[in-house]
Amino acid sequence: MADFNLIGQSFGPQDLVAKITGRAKYAEDFRAEGMLFTKLLVSPMPHARVRSIDYSEALRLPGVVAVLTADEVPQEDHPFEPCLTNEPLYEGEPILAVAAVDETTAADAIELIRVDLEPLPFALNPLDSLRPGGPNATLMGNVYQEREVVELKWPQEVFDAANEPDQMPLGEANDEWEYGDLEAGFANADYIMEETLCCQSVTHHPMEPRTAMAYWQNGKLYMHSSVQSVAQSRRGIADRLGLELDDVILISEYCGGGFGSKIRGSVTEVIPALLARKTGRPVMMRITRAEETAIGRGRPGMLGWARMGFRNDGRMTALDLFLVQDNGPYSRQGDSGTSGDVAALAYTPESMRFRTVRVLTNTPPRAAQRGPGGVQIVSMLEPMVDRAARQIGVDRLQVRLVNAPNAETQFGRGSYELTSCFAGEALSRGAELFNWSERSQRSGQRNGSKVRGVGIALSPYYGGTSGWDGLVVIRPDGKLYIHQGVGNLGTHSCIDTAKAAAEVLNADWANCEVVFGNTSRHLPHSSSQSGSQTTHAHTRANWVVGQAAKGLLQELAALELGGSPSDYDVSGGRVHRIGAPGTGLTFAQAAERAIARGGKFDGHELPEDINDMTRTSATALAGQGLVAAAKDNLPHTARTYSFVATFIEVEVDVETGAFEIIDVTSVADCGTVLNPRSLAAQANGGVIQGIGIARSFKWAIDPTWGVHLSKRIEATKPPAMLDVPTTLTFEAVDLPDPQNPVGSKGIGEPPVGAGAGALLCAVEDALGGLAPSHQPVTPDKILSIVESGSLGWSRLETHV
């Protein structure tokens, strides 16, 4: 493994001081001359059609400048999600926007508007929609068939066959795959278990709602918006408004989190842009928490069923998995499909069948949420695997080790191969750190009303893509400017991945500047800040562009100082002759020479294969220094996955159903560690988010009215300070991935499933294997299970 200067060192992110002191400007902190504010009129019904709107009185209110209706915004057929609609598909969906001189006036104007809505049938629980005669969430149908929305109903017999209220009906799926001989797998099993699965939808609730401010200048749109990714969101905005990419300037240097809900910006962010165009004035749309609950996306919940076959040694011989995905009303969500792959990877069953159906519901729109599909399946299956392990008498660590994937594993729908896999190492190291052998002996130990329990979960998740661009400039000021089109949503990867370029150039980090968050600063075509891809994708892209810059420096030095490029090396902010360090050029000199020579040295000639956005940016930078742009063409021949193994010990009070988390230990296989401090923060943050999903985070929608009842963070209950131990242990296996030049893989998502799964397993362990099997495991459910062995209501209820 290469010896790195920057990779593997702890750094504080360069925006830390700005964030802590409040100098960092988020979307809603911007003001512009003559700026208006807009407020939204949203649907009070889960599914309705606008019959008429009368906003004449609102327009007469002093201070009101304009009204924007669905008729004035881009519309396409479902599943396209418009920013304003005349057929709201969920409660809280924006119908109309009012722009006024201040927010109070805009809100008061909303109250003067008459909207006549015709209520339409709505579905909240996917099973209700699949019943014969059940409601469809949209006028086109209720399920996704490939990319089309069609109608699918299961015959009554399917529901009758599932006679218990808790038992999952198994009807027709419309997406399935299979490998191995499932029948033989079950026939060869020593132990078979089958169970109903369920997992709740949960809202994203990033700290910063999807606020946006927009204005137009000379035909160009200037947009301050809270987005996860910059280059990709700029594309998103251009697409939604039908603009040329160059006509959109997106400024988003700081984003207060997104968790997947702002990957390409958000549907509603174009509302201020359209109002700004209509009024000729800047328009600010601050999104409130209640609005964010509705438009801010959620994780698809799932109802399902699994059948598992095990040999006596714990090896999984067969897995039959059926998932009904609560898809929300709009775009098709990939979660359940990913769940299938993740299950296949986590347990490498000898044979497997996967079936799913994605059902539309009139609940807030879904989007990827940190570990989409992975969190759901890990949290549903890990406790089930535990129950099986208890039955066959195999240690719960052992059952995971025996089924864990390795570098040779092929898995999932496409028999995918892995670039690397150290899942077993993560499990073993975690067991060692956690002291599993000793702690697992304490399982079920009772002290007064308190019972101990331990749990493990292994959570695999995507760890990166490839093929993006890098763009760096060495300016006459002697600094290396690393341009990043990824977003800065608090994960540090925006900064950390830039180090790959600095690493190649042996640059002093203090002499480097990362340019990000504002497309007018000429950013390259970058990956979206999602799918844990940034670390992998942009260490690659920046490595490649670092190499390109190094090549240019060497070539330049050879031209300027003689010799051949290979006679030169780059370090200490200079390009210098190998063996004669005194002969060379400083970065400042090189930048000036590059400008003087022009052509490929200063960006006037660019590689053929880079993306147009990168080309435009590099062209704009041309002549400002030594400009290097490059596309990541490094080999990427398999799928990159990261793995997190989390171990949790809890103490459950069986008299109250409350529990305390005693210890959380996680070990990750995420390749080479880029920045230990950021990594621990990111991994533990993910584990905590998973713990929150398992123990308290939820949303609640009234089944009769389809109206959201948990519109504040206080009611959605993400984990709070005292819900996790003060110290969480984290370590990385720190073994390099061979298909990444620095050896890194993504880490954003796998910890979430690990945290959720391990906690559920630990709680269930304390209860002697009795499971609430319903997330989150709040005290009411635990106590009900302790008292009567059942929840007292059906586990198949959704949005409870």
Partner 1 sequence: MELFRRTFNPWNQEILIGVSWTLLYVAIVAGAAFIIGHAIYAGFIAKKEVPPTDEDVRRVAPNAPERVERHTMTSRISHWILAVSVLALLITGFVPVLGLQFPWVTIHWIAGLVLAAYTVFHTAHVVKRRTLGTMWVSRKELGEMWARVKLMAGGHGAEPPKPGKWAIENKAFHHLTMTAGLVVVGTGLLMMLRVDTVFASANPYILSDATWGVMFVLHGIASVVFVGAIMVHIYFALHPEKHWITWSMIRGWISRRDYAWHHDPKRWPVPPKSVPLKGVSPREPSGTPATHHEP
Partner 2 sequence: MAVIHDMMPAYELFQPTDVEGAIALLNEHGDGARVLAGGMDTWDWLKDRAKRITALIDLAGIEELREIRATPDGVDIGALVPLTQVERHSQIVQNYSVLADSARHVATPQIRNQGTLGGNVSQDTRCSYYRSGWPCYRAGGNVCYANTPTSLNREHAILGADRCVAVSPSDTAPALIALDAKMVVQNRRGEREIDAANYFIGPGTDIERMTVLKNGDVLTAIRIPNTWSNAQFYFEKVADRKSWDFPLVNVASALRVENGVIQDSRIVVGAVAAKPLRLFRVEEAIAGRPVNEETAAAAGEIAVRGAEPLRLNGYKVPLMRNLVKRAIRGQEA
**Binding residues for partner 2 (CB under 8 A):** 39-42, 44, 103-104, 107-108, 110-115, 288-291, 448-449, 655-658, 695-696, 700, 702-705, 707, 709-712, 714-715, 717, 719-723, 776, 778-781, 783-784, 787, 792-793, 800
DSSP state of 744: B
At position 512, the amino acid (one-letter code) is C
In angstroms, the CA 261 to CA 328 distance is 14
In angstroms, the CA 719 to CA 419 distance is 34
* Residue 715 contacts which entry, partner 2, partner 1, none (Cβ below 5-8 A, type-dependent): partner 2
The site for partner 1, by CB under 8 A, has a size of 8
Q: How far is the CB of 117 from partner 1 (least distance, A)?
A: 8
In angstroms, the CA 238 to CA 246 distance is 9
At position 412, the amino acid (one-letter code) is G
With CB under 8 A as the contact rule, which of the stretches 349-357, 548-556, 656-664, 699-707 interacts with partner 1? 699-707
**Contact flag: residue 705 with partner 1 (CB under 8 A):** yes
**Contact flag: residue 45 with partner 1 (CB under 8 A):** yes
In angstroms, the CA 376 to CA 694 distance is 10
With CB under 8 A as the contact rule, which of the stretches 403-411, 584-592, 632-640, 697-705 interacts with partner 1? 697-705
In angstroms, the CA 430 to CA 401 distance is 12
493 closest CA partner among 462, 543, 536, 459 = 536
Residue number with CB closer to partner 1 (119 or 414): 119
Residue number with CB closer to partner 2 (150 or 720): 720
**Contact flag: residue 707 with partner 1 (CB under 8 A):** yes
**Contact flag: residue 44 with partner 1 (CB under 8 A):** yes
* Residue 45 contacts which entry, partner 1, partner 2, none (Cβ below 5-8 A, type-dependent): partner 1
Residue number with CB closer to partner 2 (80 or 793): 793
Q: Would you call 714 exposed, middle or buried from its count of C-beta atoms within 10 A (0-12, 13-18, 19+)?
A: exposed
**Contact flag: residue 121 with partner 1 (CB under 8 A):** no
CA atoms within 13 A on the CB side of 305: 14
In angstroms, the CA 612 to CA 464 distance is 22
**Contact flag: residue 119 with partner 1 (CB under 8 A):** yes
Residue number with CB closer to partner 1 (119 or 280): 119
Residue number with CB closer to partner 1 (207 or 715): 715
List Cα–Cα distances, 639 to 350, 418, 462, 463, 634, in angstroms: 20, 5, 8, 8, 14
Q: Is 338 left (phi over 0), alpha (psi -120 to 50) or beta?
A: alpha
- Angle, to 10 degrees, between the axis of helix 750-766 and the axis of helix 676-695? 50
List Cα–Cα distances, 411 to 220, 328, 349, 386, 638, in angstroms: 47, 28, 9, 22, 11
149 closest CA partner among 365, 301, 329 = 329
687 closest CA partner among 753, 732, 643 = 753
**Contact flag: residue 581 with partner 1 (CB under 8 A):** no
Q: How far is the CB of 45 from partner 1 (least distance, A)?
A: 5
* Residue 665 contacts which entry, partner 1, partner 2, none (Cβ below 5-8 A, type-dependent): none
**Contact flag: residue 777 with partner 1 (CB under 8 A):** no
Residues 660, 702, 780, 787: which binds partner 1 (CB under 8 A)? Answer: 702
Residue number with CB closer to partner 1 (612 or 702): 702
Residue number with CB closer to partner 1 (34 or 121): 121
Q: How far is the CB of 704 from partner 1 (least distance, A)?
A: 6
Residue number with CB closer to partner 1 (101 or 707): 707
Residue number with CB closer to partner 1 (21 or 704): 704
745: its two tokens: 């893989």
614-641 burial: b if 16+ Cβ within 10 Å, else e: bbbbbeebbebbbbbbbbbeeebebbbb
Q: How far is the CB of 758 from partner 2 (least distance, A)?
A: 19
**Contact flag: residue 257 with partner 1 (CB under 8 A):** no
**Contact flag: residue 4 with partner 1 (CB under 8 A):** no
* Residue 717 contacts which entry, partner 2, partner 1, none (Cβ below 5-8 A, type-dependent): partner 2
* Residue 164 contacts which entry, partner 2, partner 1, none (Cβ below 5-8 A, type-dependent): none
**Contact flag: residue 404 with partner 1 (CB under 8 A):** no
Q: Do 246 and 613 touch, CB atoms closer than 8 A?
A: no
Q: How far is the CB of 707 from partner 1 (least distance, A)?
A: 5
Q: Do 407 and 424 touch, CB atoms closer than 8 A?
A: no
Q: How far is the CB of 666 from partner 2 (least distance, A)?
A: 21
**Contact flag: residue 334 with partner 1 (CB under 8 A):** no
673: its two tokens: 């560690």
CA angle (443 as vertex; 442, 448 as ends), nearest 5: 80
List Cα–Cα distances, 333 to 189, 353, 369, 517, in angstroms: 34, 20, 11, 28
Helix (H, G, I), strand (E, B) or coil at 760: helix
Determine which helix (DSSP H) or strand (DSSP E) holds 348, and give its type and residue range.
none
Residue number with CB closer to partner 1 (332 or 708): 708
* Residue 119 contacts which entry, partner 2, partner 1, none (Cβ below 5-8 A, type-dependent): partner 1
Residues 40, 70, 98, 117: which binds partner 1 (CB under 8 A)? Answer: 117
**Contact flag: residue 123 with partner 1 (CB under 8 A):** no
Q: Do 266 and 294 touch, CB atoms closer than 8 A?
A: no
Q: How far is the CB of 90 from partner 1 (least distance, A)?
A: 13
Q: How far is the CB of 713 from partner 1 (least distance, A)?
A: 22
In angstroms, the CA 713 to CA 694 distance is 16
* Residue 80 contacts which entry, partner 1, partner 2, none (Cβ below 5-8 A, type-dependent): none
DSSP string, 582-632: EEEEEHHHHHHHHHHH-GGGTTSS--TTS-HHHHHHHHHHTTSSEEEEEE-
Q: How far is the CB of 166 from partner 2 (least distance, A)?
A: 15
Q: How far is the CB of 793 from partner 2 (least distance, A)?
A: 6
For partner 1, the binding residues (CB under 8 A) are 44-45, 117, 119, 702, 704-705, 707
